[in-house]
Chain A
C-alpha cells in the first residue's frame, strides 16, 4: 500500500475548514467576524429554541435575547475563554446562554437589539414554526439531562439543515438537481410508502440510477456535515466526540 493512500486532503477528501475557535482568537477583525457568522449560523436556532423552552420566554424577548447573546459573545470575547480540553463547545455555549439570560434578568434589561450579526439571516418566524412542530415530552421538562438532550438535538437539526443547504448548492453547481430532488424525496421527506421503485417510476429512471444518486448524495451530505462540524470544534478529540453524537454512533 502506498503511503499516499492515507494522506488526508487532495481530491479524495477535502481539506477541512479552519476551526471557529482559532478564527475567533485571530487578531484579524474580519476573521473574527467570519467566525461569529459561522457560529451564529449553526447555533442561533438551537439558542433561540432553548431560550423559548428552557427559560419560557415570549417570542419577542427570546428574539432579543438570542441576538443579544451573540452580540455579547463577540463583545466579551467569550470564545477566548473556551477550552476544548475541558468541555464541548456546544455545552459551553449552552452554559453561556444560561448565565446570559440570568444576568439579563438580574439587571432587568430588555433592550431591543438587532443588526449586530452581519450576513446571518435570523428567520425567527420559521424557528417558531419549527418549535411548534417539535415533539417535547412534558415529563422530561427541566431535568438537566433533558436540557442537554434538547439543545443537542436542536444543534444536530441545525447542523444537518445547513449541510442539506450546502448539498443543494453543490447539486446546482454540478447540474445534479434531480439527484437532490431524489435525496429530498427519499431521505428528507420519505415515509413508509417511499421506495426506490416508486422513485424510479416517478422520475422515469432505473432503480440503479436512483440508488446511485442517493448513494452519491448521502456521501456528499456526510462529507459536508462533517466538514461543517469540524469547523465548529476546538480540537480533533472534540470533533470525534461531536461527530459520534451528531450521527448517533454512540447510541447504537
Chain B
C-alpha cells in the first residue's frame, strides 16, 4: 500500500472537491461560497450562454437528509416565483452521484455589507419593505423561511432585494398558511416530503429527523424555534426574525436594548422591533403585511400600531408630517403681522 504524505492528502482533497459536470450543460467557473450543506459554484450554462449559480452537495446520494433538503429547497424556490426570491433553473444528480440545483447568478452584496452604504433611515426602511414583500409572498404560498438574517439577503446593483437560502424552509400543509395552524405533535422543525425528495406532492409534511431538532441562526431565531417547540413555529417565527433583521438594518445590532454608544432609533421604530420580537408569538404581528403596514405608516408620518403616543409625541409627529404647511402658514402669518405693523406705523 502506497504511503500518502500530508501534502498528497491535501492535493487529493482539493482535486476531488469539484463536482463532476460531465454530461450536463454546465461548465464550472469558480467556487463562490461554502455552506452547511455543500458548495456554491459559479458555472456557465453552455446552452443558454449565461452564468448561473450551482449549488451542490459534498456527499453523493439521493436519499439522505441533505439530498432531500437540497431538492426540497429547489422545489420551494421553483414554487415561489417572485422578484424578491432567487429563481431556480434546474435540479438533478451529477455523474458523481451528488445532488445539485442551479439558480440565477446574483451579483450584488450581502445585506450586512450593503447596509453600510445606506445612510438614510427611510431608504433603509424601504429596503426592509422589499424583504417583507418577498417573505409575505412566501407565507401566502404556505412557506416559512426560518432562517432570515442579513447573510441570507442579497441586494443587487439596482437595489433589488433577493431573499436567499431556503434550505431550512418549512412547507405548511396546503391552505395552512395562517398563523393559527393546528398543532402537529409529530412534526419536527426539519421536515421533508414523505416518500423521497422526488415525490410529487411537495406540500406534504412528514417527519424525518429526531423530534425538536434545532435549525436556524441564534439571534435571528425565535424562542420557540430555538426551543425546538415545533407546534408553535409558524409565520410569526419569521416575523421574529424580521424584527431582529429590522433592528440590524436600523442599528447594525440585532440584540434588543441599547448599549452605550449604540445608534438610537425612533421610539415608533423601536416599538415595531419590540413587537415583532416579542417572546410570545401571540404578542407579535399576526402577519408580515401588518408589520409592513406599520413601517409604511411610519414612513408616511402616521402613528404606528405598535406604539401608543403621548400628546407631546403626537404633536411632534404632526409637526414633522405637516412641517411644510405649518411653516408656510407661519410665514404667511408673520408676513401679515409685519404688513400690519408697517401699515399702523
Contact = CB atoms under 8 A, between A and B. Distances in A.
A226 interface: yes
Contacts of B61: 8, 236
A7 B197 CA distance: 10
Contacts of B58: 243-244, 247, 249
Interface in B51-84: 58-66, 71
Given A13-B97, A165-B1, A252-B34, A244 B59 contact: yes
B17 interface: yes
A252 B63 CA distance: 25
Contact of B5 (A133, A156, A240): A133
Interface stretch (A53-61, A75-83, A200-208, A214-222): A214-222
Contacts of A188: 2, 4, 8, 11-12
A214 B18 CA distance: 12
Contact of B96 (A13, A240, A247): A13
B330 interface: no
Contacts of A3: 198
B97 A157 contact: no
A172 to B, nearest CB: 15
Nearest to B197: A6
Given A6-B71, A6-B198, A8-B61, A190 B1 contact: no
A161 interface: yes
Contact of A6 (B20, B93, B96): B93
B95 interface: yes
Contacts of A130: 3
Interface string A212-239: 0011001101110110000000001101
Interface residues of A, number: 47
Nearest to B34: A252
A161 B4 CA distance: 7
B75 to A, nearest CB: 11
A31 to B, nearest CB: 24
Contact of B1 (A162, A187, A215, A244): A162
Interface residues of B, number: 39
B6 to A, nearest CB: 7
Contacts of A248: 10, 13
A223 B97 contact: yes
Contact of A8 (B4, B17, B34, B97): B97
Contacts of A226: 59-60
Nearest to B10: A248
B122 interface: no
A223 B63 CA distance: 17
A161 B97 contact: no
A236 B2 CA distance: 29
Interface in B176-197: 196-197
B15 A214 contact: yes
Contacts of B65: 236-237, 240
A188 B99 CA distance: 28
A165 B71 contact: no
B93 A160 contact: no
A135 interface: yes
Nearest to B38: A249
Interface in B233-290: none
Contacts of B66: 240
A156 B99 contact: no
14 contacts: A6-B62, A6-B99, A6-B196, A6-B197, A12-B93, A153-B6, A161-B1, A187-B8, A218-B12, A218-B16, A219-B22, A219-B96, A223-B97, A249-B34
Interface of B: 1-6, 8-13, 15-17, 20, 22, 34, 58-66, 71, 90-93, 95-97, 99, 196-198
Given A8-B97, A223-B97, 7 more contacts: A6-B62, A13-B97, A161-B3, A187-B11, A222-B96, A237-B65, A244-B59
